[in-house]
Chain A
Amino acid sequence: MGERVDLERENRFLAAHASTHDGIYRYFRRRTEGAATAEDLCAEVFRIVWEKSGHGDDLSAMVLYGVARNVLRNYDRSVSRSAGLLGALHLERNHETAGDESLVLEAIENLAPKEREVLLLTYWDGLSAVEVSQLLNTSATAVRMRLHRARKELGRLLQKQSVSEGAAE
């Protein structure tokens, strides 16, 4: 009997892993520096998920993203503590990225954290408003509102950048 439970647990875990691993790995790659960190954090997520699977917990994608979000928050805290950069967004700087993209990244960093999170979960991680609302434990309406504000603000920041660049030349 115990074996059947183990097998069931393993299957549930493997199914959750197969369907969400890549997304979660990308989630970390977008928000931390480098592949090694993303790999570490991703492994930590699935270690926790494996433990959860032993308690019969729900292993849906949004639960896993929730775990990832907490793991990232802990990681950011430890990094911020050591670097003294509280609240900084640790986006990977790829030196080969074109100027346009780094301008966008810079604008993203200047968004309010709550708006930025909704924006990136939507456009980078491809989550729906309902999924984002589950993850952030808020209403879908609030998510849409934040998203709208984030888009507007991003447009404004990008415009400002191009203006100030034009002025510098």
Chain B
Amino acid sequence: MSHDQSVADLLSAADPAHTIADDELIRSRQRSLSFVNSEVTHLSVGGSVHDFHRAPGKRHWGRFAVAGLAAAAVAASVLVGSTLASRPDGTAAAPSATSTSLATPSGTAKSSLTGATVTDSFGNVDYYTTDQGDTLARVAANFHITEKELAEFNGIQPGSALQPNTKLRLIPPPGPMNGAKGTATVDANGIPTSYTIEPGDTLAGITYRFGITDKQLAEANKVAFTYEKGNTYFVRAGNHIQLQKNPVDSRSGQGTSVNNSFGQTIFYTTVDGDSLDSLGYQFRCTTDQLLRWNTAVTADRPIPAGTKVRLIPGEVTIEGAQGTFTVDADGIPLTYTTAPGDTQTQIAFRFGIPEIADLAWANRPLTGTGSVWYTFADLSSGELNPGQTISLNLTKPIHG
């Protein structure tokens, strides 16, 4: 029996799983949950929905094609390693009416349709008014939907002739459908503007019903587009979400930015034309967040040019990140001293650190096999022991 015992000891000593770091497990746990759609409480660990707006794109998560579920629609527009604050003008997908290169039968380019269109705030064409000579097939091909769909959206028979001056609907008919059973508000032009999420709704259902892309939906709600969670972290029953973005001044977005060591913009100095909306779309912060983090800014007055706006909580403590911190001369965070109940996720969020792996890298030990030197009070929730001074800066790492 002593022989058996020694085999067991030798084997367990040689077990490669001994080198598994805790954050490795946490990451894999989160990632392997990404297939569950909507309303999963796991995705809200440690904070409100708003606190997840900057949930970043994981670097290598896009490699694995995610099949099925809501992600199917996302897969068409995978944004691997998406950065946080893509500029609104860069993220708005090309309106369908202008992307004529795809699957258009010869001779039916966009120019061949002469009727009037109604577009939404992203430039997606939601309605088309027929002109002389238009056919269902040509209109459908032009807007990249099938003839059957177009007929269904308008309650007509496929193949039937079109009368000139008929306003055709290019998005599904109003009312609940599978994956989007809630109620929507619609503006005077028939463009859906907001929506209340019902249990069982999916990202794919919502974007299909309202004729927008998942990236546009993220922008309209001033949240980062994150592929790895199927972008469903704000798709939860009861949430009232925006389907369109408000107009912003064309002069906006030209101010100067201060980035932290992780490349995320943490301060922005405004120019004329900047507004809570323009900042929100550009840096993916909600109006609530901006007002909370910037007491000098008020909701009812324009932001004066030259205002230095904070784009992270920073000095504003949040749940799960109540400790104190130091900054350098430019206001870029350097170190942080943990308070009881602090979690990695919330600390990262408070200081604009894109992902926990980045925080870990600034705190990697130089010896041993662990990924970080700091210690945890509760591993599964990522809660740290209080009183540890950790690095918030990639250029000034602390190694324990």
Q: Given the complex, which residues of B lie within 8 Å of A105, measured CB to CB?
A: 14, 16
Residue in A3, A29, A40, A43 whose beta carbon sits within 8 Å of that of B17 in the complex: A29
Contact residues in B for A21 (Cβ distance below 8 Å): 28-29, 32
Report Cα–Cα, A63/B249, bound state, in Å.
57
Q: How far is the CA of A26 from the CA of B15 in the complex (A)?
A: 10
A10-B32 Cα distance, complex, nearest whole Å: 13
Enumerate chain A residues within 8 angstroms of B20, measured Cβ to Cβ.
Answer: 25-26, 29, 35
In the complex, what residues of A have CB within 8 A of residue B29's CB?
A: 17, 21-22, 25
Q: Does B27 contact A (CB under 8 A)?
A: yes
Interface residues as binary, B22-45 with A (CB distance below 8 Å gives 1, 0 otherwise)? 001101110111111000101000
In angstroms, how far is the closest chain A Cβ from the Cβ of B397? 20
Which residue of chain A lies nearest to B7 when distances are taken between CB atoms in the complex? A151
B63 interfacial by beta-carbon distance below 8 Å? yes
Interface-centre pick from A6, A29, A155 (highest chain B CB count, 10 A): A29
8 Å CB contact of A35 from B7, B15, B24: B24
- The reply to whether B15 and A30 contact each other, CB–CB distance below 8 Å, is yes
Interface centre among B12, B16, B29, B64 (most CB of A within 10 A): B16
- Determine whether B19 belongs to the interface, using a CB cutoff of 8 Å to chain A: yes
Q: Is B11 located at the chain interface by the 8 A CB criterion?
A: yes
Which residues of A sit under 8 angstroms from B369, Cβ to Cβ? 94, 96
Chain A residues lying within 8 Å of B69, measured Cβ to Cβ, are 50
Q: Is A51 positioned at the interface, with any CB of B under 8 Å from its CB?
A: yes
Interface residue tally of chain A, by bracket?
A: 35 or more
Residues of A within 8 A of B199 (CB): 3, 6-7
B60 at the interface (CB under 8 A from A): yes
With A14-B42, A50-B35, A151-B4 as contacts: A26 and B17 at CB distance below 8 Å: yes
B-contact bits for A53-69, CB 8 A (1 contact / 0 none): 00000000000000000
Contacts of B25 in A (CB 8 A): 22, 25
- Tell whether, in the assembled complex, residue B36 and residue A14 are in contact, meaning their CB atoms are under 8 Å apart: yes
B63 CB to closest chain A CB, in angstroms? Answer: 7
Of A91, A119, A123, most buried by chain B (CB within 10 Å of CB) is: A123
Taking the nearest CB of chain A, how far is it from the CB of B179, in angstroms? Answer: 11
B4 & A25 in contact (Cβ 8 Å cutoff): no
Judging by beta carbons under 8 Å apart, are B40 and A43 in contact?
Answer: no
B327 → chain A closest CB, angstroms: 33
CB distance from B178 to the nearest CB of A (A): 9
Once the chains are docked, how many angstroms separate the CA of A17 from the CA of B69? Answer: 18
User: Roughly how many angstroms separate A39 CA and B8 CA in the complex, as a whole number?
Assistant: 27
Q: Is A166 interfacial (CB 8 A cutoff)?
A: no
Whether the pair A100, B13 counts as a contact (CB closer than 8 A) is yes
Closest partner residue, chain B, to A119 (CB atom): B11
Distance of A154 Cα from B42 Cα, bound (Å):
43
Which residue of chain A is the closest to B228 with respect to CB atoms? A43
Q: How would residues 149 to 165 of chain A score, 1 for a CB under 8 Å from any chain B CB and 0 otherwise?
A: 00100110010000000
Q: Is the CB of A43 within 8 A of B12?
A: no
Would you list which residues of chain A between 30 and 58 have a CB under 8 Å from chain B? Answer: 30, 35-36, 38-40, 42-47, 50-51
How far does the Cβ of B74 sit from chain A's closest Cβ, in whole Å? 14
A154 to B14, CA, bound (A): 13
* Distance of A164 Cα from B32 Cα, bound (Å): 45
Chain B residues with Cβ below 8 Å from A158 are 10
Q: A14-B36, A43-B31, A43-B34 are in contact. Are A101 and B7 (CB under 8 A)?
A: no
Taking CB atoms, residues of chain B closer than 8 Å to A100 are 10, 13-14
B200 within 8 A of A: yes
- Give every chain B residue within 8 A of A155 (Cβ-Cβ): 3, 7
Task: Flag whether B66 is at the interface (Cβ < 8 A).
Answer: yes
Q: Say how far A49's CB is from chain B's closest CB, in angstroms.
A: 9
Choose one: A46, A94, A123; the contact of B19 (CB below 8 Å): A94
B32 touches A17 (CB 8 A): yes
Chain B residues positioned under 8 Å from A17 (CB to CB):
29, 32-33
Note all chain B residues with C-beta closer than 8 A to A91: 16
Smallest distance from the beta carbon of A128 to chain B beta carbons, Å? 14
Complex A-B: 14 CB contacts under 8 Å: A14-B40, A17-B29, A22-B25, A25-B25, A25-B28, A30-B15, A39-B27, A43-B32, A47-B35, A50-B69, A91-B16, A94-B19, A108-B11, A123-B8
Known interface pairs A22-B25, A25-B25, A30-B16; 13 further A-B residue pairs with C-beta atoms within 8 A, sorted by A's residue number: A3-B199, A3-B200, A6-B200, A30-B15, A43-B28, A43-B34, A43-B35, A47-B32, A94-B369, A120-B11, A123-B8, A123-B11, A151-B7
Q: A interface vs B, CB < 8 Å?
A: 2-3, 6-7, 10, 13-14, 17, 21-22, 25-26, 29-30, 35-36, 38-40, 42-47, 50-51, 91-92, 94, 96-97, 100-102, 104-105, 108, 119-120, 123-124, 151, 154-155, 158
